A and B are shown apart, each in its own frame.
Chain A
């Protein structure tokens, strides 16, 4: 039995819109994995913990270096579904020598986490996972990019249904990124730029052909994608619009449109379009992506737990594995 199952995963912000979905996904994947749910509302955390089973509720005080946790508490990993501007949560994970997943930080605000990691680089694995949709679109794009010998451009479009809104924490995060951050980061023919200038908006065609006005978004995805196309053009755009429903259902889905252009292995210049839909919506899909990374840092999916270091999701997850696990509707368009 894996030793990771002896100790709970500490989920901060564990009962929120995203956190609770991560907890449920982890429970579904690993009935034996103990979970510790922490947040400001003990009541909400308790309700979720009871529903999950094999889960405890903890009060965490991010203003304290020991997080206010009674001595002897030991976890297998710390997952931050809330923003921690004090970085006490990272110091706690470093002191305990356990993996740490940061889910909120946009490119412009990686500095504090990275510097603190650099100071204690041999203590633990730090995963930077401030990607759109738990890293799923990026890993999917890397998977599809394998059809190409050279990649010239990757355009990722994310279509959020108005009936599938962000949770309050994500909404606050997005507002903070737009207000405090520089314009969204894009790669244009190998040149990094903050803001796409006049081309900051574009039109994305959804799965059903409807056209949506989209805007570039400044998350970590382009940085990850640059590992396979350092001299190409990379951008991620977000649109709001009505997404495809399952037959006889009124529930919104989340659509991901990935367009890749480049030269294929047989020497043809092509542009290929791939579409993914999650009928459970964006938060559920994010939770799937994040849960796969949590499994990986715990060493629960076969491989050994990663060594101390700084990671992006693609440093840890083989895109083929993720694609095989996602139960999403997908198709390749022309």
Chain B
């Protein structure tokens, strides 16, 4: 009975990524009420008018109550920017609401984890600080299902330099690059922090053009490390020119997943999965949040999620996630190279 649900509070919901999440949620769930939280009412009002059954809510992240009236009621909270005070998460916990966040680097996970440990039975906490909230993780997990032993999972992700997101993404990037002395990889079965030359790489894009890359650690390394028996896991990030832009078209975002190992049949093989989203990174990230909201509220008819600490792969079937990625514009190509 979706029409009786309280609104989902989307903090930063009118922003670059948030607005995609709002539109996708509306498309998937026409009756779900949405509260677009932020500081810029003009933009939020326009978005609310566009999608319907939505409204603007003023949010002050410097306040423990977020500046919300006592009588306000929500069904879940998602935040599209870094909340260095954790007020939004604490608010969700105090009201027993599922909470979704996606702006941390791996080295920052402790803040959300500690806040979870302080109140473990209060609410489900969904950590989606993976590359584009799960857009590389979930296809990688789907591909990994073909293998019984995995030697290496390599993720190569490309974000166009014209597609660096809005101000929130810029703040994340500066904070992460400014503070991270090194990056996490799984190497020969050991979680290892690398820096300098070890972190440098060359990535060949979907059109065969090579560009410089650097190892980068969104939560993909953690989830893949926990979910698979891979001996090596690494993600390399290119900030450069996307293949579509080289062809004279608008920028796009590219993800390449390569797995080496032994298939269920016992044969060794390398499989490569490429995906391109022609609109860039924001729609895929927005989709990840929309699917998280859907799952946490049980809008697909699933059981409600108990309080606990979650990552996307613990609650959402990778095949379903990938199907939705295709539906919302991602183009996949798969290659198999027998070893």
Query: Is B304's CB within 8 Å of the partner chain A?
Result: no
Query: Is B180's CB within 8 Å of the partner chain A?
Result: yes
Most buried by B among A109, A182, A224, A315: A182
CA distance A220 to B117 in the complex (A): 12
* A116-B225 contact in complex given A111-B219, A226-B114, A310-B309, C-beta closer than 8 Å: yes
**When each residue 54-74 of chain A gets 1 if its CB lies under 8 Å from chain B and 0 otherwise, what string results?**
000000000100000000000
Contact B110 A110 (CB under 8 A): yes
Query: Is B168's CB within 8 Å of the partner chain A?
Result: no
Query: Is A50's CB within 8 Å of the partner chain B?
Result: no
**When each residue 181-212 of chain A gets 1 if its CB lies under 8 Å from chain B and 0 otherwise, what string results?**
11101000011111100000000000000000
Contact A85 B190 (CB under 8 A): yes
CA distance A63 to B231 in the complex (A): 11
CA distance A198 to B222 in the complex (A): 33
Query: Is B320's CB within 8 Å of the partner chain A?
Result: no
CA distance A72 to B179 in the complex (A): 46
Contact A230 B86 (CB under 8 A): yes
* A195-B110 contact in complex given A114-B309, A230-B90, C-beta closer than 8 Å: no
* A85-B114 contact in complex given A111-B222, A115-B222, A180-B181, C-beta closer than 8 Å: no
Q: B118 — which chain A residues lie within 8 A by C-beta?
A: 226-227
Interface residues of B in 114-155 (CB under 8 A from A): 114-118, 120
* A223-B111 contact in complex given A118-B310, A315-B117, C-beta closer than 8 Å: yes
Instruction: Indicate which residue in A85, A119, A180, A310 contacts B117 across the interface (CB closer than 8 Å).
Output: A310
Instruction: Indicate which residue in A107, A121, A231 contacts B64 across the interface (CB closer than 8 Å).
Output: A231
Query: Is B30's CB within 8 Å of the partner chain A?
Result: no
Instruction: Indicate which residue in A111, A183, A231, A315 contacts B106 across the interface (CB closer than 8 Å).
Output: A111
Contact B117 A185 (CB under 8 A): no
Q: Residue of B at shortest CB range from A85?
A: B190
Contact A193 B309 (CB under 8 A): no
Query: Is A160's CB within 8 Å of the partner chain B?
Result: no
Query: Is A268's CB within 8 Å of the partner chain B?
Result: no
Contact B109 A111 (CB under 8 A): yes
Number of B residues, CB within 8 Å of A: 42
Q: A41 — which chain B residues lie within 8 A by C-beta?
A: none
Query: Is B173's CB within 8 Å of the partner chain A?
Result: no
**When each residue 210-252 of chain A gets 1 if its CB lies under 8 Å from chain B and 0 otherwise, what string results?**
0000000000100110110011000000000000000000000
Contact A118 B110 (CB under 8 A): no
Query: Is A28's CB within 8 Å of the partner chain B?
Result: no
CA distance A315 to B118 in the complex (A): 7
Q: Residue of B at shortest CB range from A228?
A: B118
Most buried by A among B106, B110, B182: B110
Query: Is A321's CB within 8 Å of the partner chain B?
Result: no
For the A-B complex, the count of residue pairs with Cβ-Cβ distances under 8 Å equals 114
Q: B87 — which chain A residues lie within 8 A by C-beta?
A: 190
CA distance A118 to B124 in the complex (A): 12
CA distance A190 to B314 in the complex (A): 31
Query: Is B192's CB within 8 Å of the partner chain A?
Result: yes
Contact A192 B107 (CB under 8 A): no
Contact B180 A110 (CB under 8 A): no
Q: A303 — which chain B residues lie within 8 A by C-beta?
A: none
Q: B110 — which chain A residues lie within 8 A by C-beta?
A: 107-108, 110, 185, 220, 223
**When each residue 111-125 of chain A gets 1 if its CB lies under 8 Å from chain B and 0 otherwise, what string results?**
110111111010000
CA distance A315 to B64 in the complex (A): 23
Q: B120 — which chain A residues lie within 8 A by C-beta?
A: 309-310
Q: B117 — which chain A residues lie within 8 A by C-beta?
A: 128, 310-312, 315
Question: What are 25 residue pairs bridging A and B, where the CB atoms are less than 8 Å apart in the complex?
Answer: A85-B191, A87-B191, A108-B108, A111-B184, A111-B221, A112-B191, A112-B225, A115-B219, A115-B223, A118-B308, A118-B314, A180-B181, A180-B182, A181-B107, A181-B182, A182-B180, A193-B84, A195-B179, A223-B111, A224-B114, A226-B115, A230-B86, A231-B85, A309-B120, A310-B120
Q: Measuring CB to CB, which residues of chain A are less than 8 angstroms from any residue of chain B?
A: 63, 85-87, 107-112, 114-119, 121, 128, 176, 179-183, 185, 190-195, 220, 223-224, 226-227, 230-231, 309-312, 315
| 8 pairs of A and B residues whose beta carbons are closest in the complex | A115-B222, A223-B114, A107-B110, A85-B190, A108-B107, A180-B193, A182-B179, A115-B226
A107-B107, A182-B180, A310-B120 known; 13 new pairs, CB 8 Å cut-off, are: A86-B189, A86-B191, A87-B191, A114-B109, A116-B226, A118-B226, A128-B117, A181-B193, A220-B114, A224-B114, A230-B64, A231-B64, A312-B114
